[in-house]
Amino acid sequence: DTGVSQNPRHKITKRGQNVTFRCDPISEHNRLYWYRQTLGQGPEFLTYFQNEAQLEKSRLLSDRFSAERPKGSFSTLEIQRTEQGDSAMYLCASSPGLAGGLAGELFFGEGSRLTVL
């Protein structure tokens, strides 16, 4: 399977704990996105990487959230001191960018569902 891979698929944690999610994009895609989705809502943009550079970070992301993409390959999203309001599906997507396809065409992973108790 050469699609976008995310893990863990599900994470249950207690309030105040730290969690980390990993995303492995499609290998030839240089663009990587993180979105958050809560029940009944569409995905909300969190952050965007082009290769290893984080080019945009949403105001939705507090200082407790940090994302990295070392070497422009896989990415991690860490949430420190989790709160109940962080409970959501965290979606990763990759894109080939302008050279390989239409601008903004995203390929999503299956998501990582976080439940904070």
Partner 1 sequence: TQLLEQSPQFLSIQEGENLTVYCNSSSVFSSLQWYRQEPGEGPVLLVTVVTGGEVKKLKRLTFQFGDARKDSSLHITAAQPGDTGLYLCAGVGGSNYKLTFGKGTLLTVNP
Site residues for partner 1 per CB under 8 A: 4, 31, 33, 35, 40-45, 48, 50, 55-56, 91, 93, 95, 97-98, 102-111, 113
C-beta separation of 7 from 74 below 8 A: no
Structure tokens at 109: 């992973």
109 versus 116: smaller Cβ distance to partner 1: 109
Structure tokens at 29: 């895609």
43 versus 82: smaller Cβ distance to partner 1: 43
Residues facing residue 115 across a β-bridge = 12
CB of 76 to partner 1, least distance (A): 18
- Sequence-separated (6 or more) residues with CB below 8 Å from residue 1: none
61 versus 106: smaller Cβ distance to partner 1: 106
